[in-house]
Amino acid sequence: MKQDLLIYNTLSRQKELFKPVHEGHVGMYVCGPTVYGDGHLGHARPAITFDVVFRYLQHLGYKVRYVRNITDVGHLEHDADDGEDKIAKKARLEQLEPMEVAQYYTNRYHAAMDALGVLRPSIEPHASGHIIEQIELVKEILDKGLAYESNGSVYFDVNKYQEQTKQYGRLSGRVLEEMLSTTRELDGQEEKHNTADFALWKKAAPEHIMRWPSPWSNGFPGWHTECTAMGSKYLGDYFDIHGGGMDLIFPHHESEIAQKTAVCGHGPCKYWMHNNMITINGQKMGKSLGNFITLDEFFTGSHKDKDGNEMLAQPYSPMTIRFFILQAHYRGTVDFSNEALIAAEKGFARLTQAYHLFKNLQASKESSIDISGYRQKCYDAMNDDFNTPILIAHLFDLAKVINQVNDHHATLTQADIDEVKSIFDTFLFEILGMRDEATSDNSALIDGLMQMILDIRATAKTNKDWATSDKIRDSLGALGVVVKDGKDGATYELK
RNA sequence: GGUCACUUGGCCGAGCGGCUAGGCACAGGUCUGCAAAACCUGCUACUCCGGUUCGAAUCCGGAAGCGACCUCCA
């Protein structure tokens, strides 16, 4: 089935019809985590957003190479003049090897992403493993005359680049002249010819332990070189989609475009996609503000803010977090609140409970509801710049249909039942990547046991032995099994 | 200070000029031994002020509020 997919391109600030650079193939690069701390809710957003993009493109039949990097070097500490690597600083504090710290947090990141149902990318390159490629990139930019060496560091010459290309600021909508007049005074700027210039290579201070030899100094690569170098290496000089959080548009992605354009004469990709932020009390959740809640804290339900107040009313399962994020469009902000999370949890439970009804849904000769348009409506939602909230609304409509059939308020033919189930399988599980948390390896056994127990309870009810029937229900309830009496007997749900 | 977004019912959240999503919460009802679930019904909103239009939450102008970026950040 051919689907016309529209993607909002930050570069043009409008939705564009997606046409891959190479027919049938898609190259996608997404900025991954800096592994020097636990992932928080903000990290879940791009991971889940682009996971859905990845899944949907594959569903449409594209062969997708998805690259998401691990940043384990290069980003400077807050006091940028120290020239001290974030990883190195944390490592010294904890008396660990820098790479040990990076590995530790990489493992924890992977565990959290697995729990959230985020598929592993095709390639997950580490910045530290691509120092040579980054040095080569710096050399090329120097050869083009668009960078200069200064005291062992190398800086990108933004002014000169701008004279030649007029491209700087195109992605972020910035005007260079204005920036030059409004940029704040920063320490350690004396090496730069201009405040807008950015580092391609940084000379390491003596105490800096993460360092590599280069033609200019023992040091480390600049903030933006890894994505340019690794993107080119694995996806070529011009690939399809580059993604990341909106806060990376400037300076990170603007600089990436500058670096790539300096070398190739054009930017790295055709479509730039940016997810919006998650806010907490209306403010961006972020490291610098110290108002973030880690994913593990969500899963366990315990997080104290700086005043010692418990922020989480209860634990939230990974699927609740995922559903919460997917219920908003990726370009809008999402405000964290317990109320919204609980609503997401209940909403998703509604969908899974409806899904569980498929196995004992009775087919009829005729369908009283026309469900023929739903599959395409679901595609239409996804095709409109990955409008997952609309898709979910359609699934809720179908859940209602299922419940109506189950209550004999509506009828569906077997073919229509199969179609609805197929839509759920395709869109809820395959594309949105939701996982049915009630299913487990023991589900067949549990199912058998539960049928037996419910049988006994039905007998008790027939005998009007309410004491026994209530005892069974209460005991199961204590174990987290909800008994639901219906017209055609009882069913159960694992909580 | 500069640039760019956003402001929808009790809460979350779609919407891209007319038919006024969806979820959660709430209220009434059906079913039930009771409860829960499900189903039915109700609740009808677009920050403000102008303008364009037969018609605007939706387009244009202005105001207010809030946020992001300009500095590591998803």
Q: Kindly report, residue by residue over A333-385, the tens digit of the pLDDT.
A: 998 889 999 999 999 999 999 998 998 888 999 999 999 999 999 999 999 99
> Measured in angstroms, what separates residue A173's CA from nucleotide B57's C1'?
28
Radius of gyration of chain A (CA): 27
User: CA-CA-CA-CA torsion for A69, A72, A75, A81, nearest 10 degrees?
Assistant: -170
Name the closest residue (CA) to the C1' of nucleotide B1: A182
Q: Which nucleotides of strand B are protein-proximal, with an atom < 7 A from a CB? A: 1-5, 11-15, 21-25, 31-40, 66-74
Q: Which of A141-145, A162-166, A191-195 has the lowest mean pLDDT?
A: A191-195
pLDDT in tens, A40-52: 999 999 999 999 9
Q: Which nucleotide is nearest to A399 (CA to C1')?
A: B38
* Sequence-separated (6 or more) residues with CB below 8 Å from residue A136: A229
- Kindly state the percentage of chain A with pLDDT values over 90: 59
Q: Quick one: which residue's CA is nearest to B15's C1'? A: A390
Nearest protein residue by Cα to C1' of nucleotide B25: A343
Beta carbons within 10 angstroms of residue A342's beta carbon: 15
CB A270 within 8 A of CB A21: yes
User: Tell me, what's the pLDDT at A85?
Assistant: 64
Query: What value does the mean pLDDT take over residues A488-494?
Result: 79
Residue A466: predicted pLDDT: 87
CA distances from A120 to A135, A213, A321 (A): 28, 32, 18
- Full 3-state SS string of A167-210: CCCCCCCCCHHHHHHHCCCCCCCCCCCCCCCEEEEEECCCCCCC
Q: Which amino acid is at A302?
A: S
Q: Provide the pLDDT confidence category of residue A440 given band limits of 50, 70 and 90.
A: low
- A252/B74 CA-to-C1' distance in Å: 12
Encode pLDDT of A234-256 as tens digits: 999 999 999 999 989 989 999 99
Q: What is the set of domains in chain A, with CATH numbers?
A: 6-275 (3.40.50.620), 279-431 (1.20.120.640), 443-494 (no CATH)
Check pLDDT > 80 for residue A180. Answer: no
* Sign of the torsion formed by the C-alpha atoms of A82, A88, A90 and A94: negative
Would the pLDDT of A319 be above 80? Answer: yes
Task: Round and report the angstrom distance from CA (A173) to C1' (B51).
Answer: 29
Q: For residue A332, which nucleotide's C1' is closest to its Cα?
A: B6
pLDDT of residue A107: 94
Give A437 CA → B11 C1' in Å: 26
How far, in whole angstroms, is CA A151 from its chain's centroid? 39
Q: Is there a contact between A110 and A43 (Cβ–Cβ < 8 Å)?
A: no
Identity (one letter) of the amino acid at A107? Answer: N
CA of A433 to C1' of B44 (A): 34
Residues A452, A443: Cα–Cα separation, whole Å: 14
What is the structure's pLDDT at A488?
73
Tallying the residues shown for chain A, one arrives at: 495
Of the candidates A484, A375, A392, A494, the residue with the CA atom closest to the CA atom of residue A434: A392
Judged by C1' against the alpha carbon of A381, the nearest nucleotide is B14
Query: Nearest nucleotide to A357 by CA–C1' distance?
Result: B38
Query: Which nt sits closest to A490, CA to C1'?
Result: B37
The amino acid present at A246, given as its one-letter code, is M
Nearest nucleotide by C1' position to the A86 CA atom: B72
Round and report the angstrom distance from CA (A160) to C1' (B3).
22
Separation in Å: B9 C1' and A253 CA: 39
Phi, psi of A34 (to 5 degrees): -90, 120
Residue at shortest CA–C1' distance from B23 = A347
Q: Starting at the edge strand that comes first in sequence, how are the strands of the sheet with A219-221 ordered?
A: A147-150, A153-156, A198-203, A219-221
Whether the predicted pLDDT of A447 surpasses 90:
no
Interatomic CA–C1' length for residue A285 and nucleotide B65, angstroms: 21
**Å from the A182 CA to the B50 C1':** 34
The two beta strands, A147-150 and A153-156, are: antiparallel
Q: Do A70 and A125 meet the contact criterion of CB atoms below 8 Å apart?
A: yes
Phi, psi dihedral angles at A154 (to 5 degrees):
-120, 135
Nucleotide nearest to A8 (CA to C1'): B16
Amino acid A51: pLDDT: 97
Give the pLDDT of residue A437.
Answer: 74
Element (H, E) at A349: helix A338-356
A4 φ, ψ (degrees, to nearest 5):
-90, 110
pLDDT reading at A441 higher than 60 = no
Among all strands, which nt has the closest C1' to A45 (CA)? B74
Amino acid A92: pLDDT: 61
A123-152 mean pLDDT? 95
ipTM beyond cut 0.85: yes
pLDDT of A490:
83
From the CA of A327, how many Å to the C1' of B14?
A: 10
- The tokens describing A271, both together, are 């479509």
CA distance A12 to A42: 25
Phi, psi (deg, nearest 5) at residue A20 = -65, 155
For A86-108, the pLDDT digits (tens) are 666 666 665 677 888 889 999 99
H or E stretch including A154?
strand A153-156
Whole-number Å distance, CA A10 to C1' B49?
Answer: 32
Helix (H, G, I), strand (E, B) or coil at A441: coil
Residues in contact with A370: Cβ distance below 8 Å, sequence separation at least 6, in sequence order: none
Predicted confidence (pLDDT) per residue in A393-438, tens digit: 999 999 999 999 998 889 999 999 999 999 999 999 999 999 987 6
pLDDT of amino acid A78: 35
Identity at A66, one-letter amino acid code: Y
Contact status, residue A286 vs residue A337, Cβ threshold 8 Å: no
Task: Report the mean per-residue pLDDT for chain A.
Answer: 88
Q: Indicate the pLDDT class of residue A128, thresholds 50, 70 and 90.
A: very high
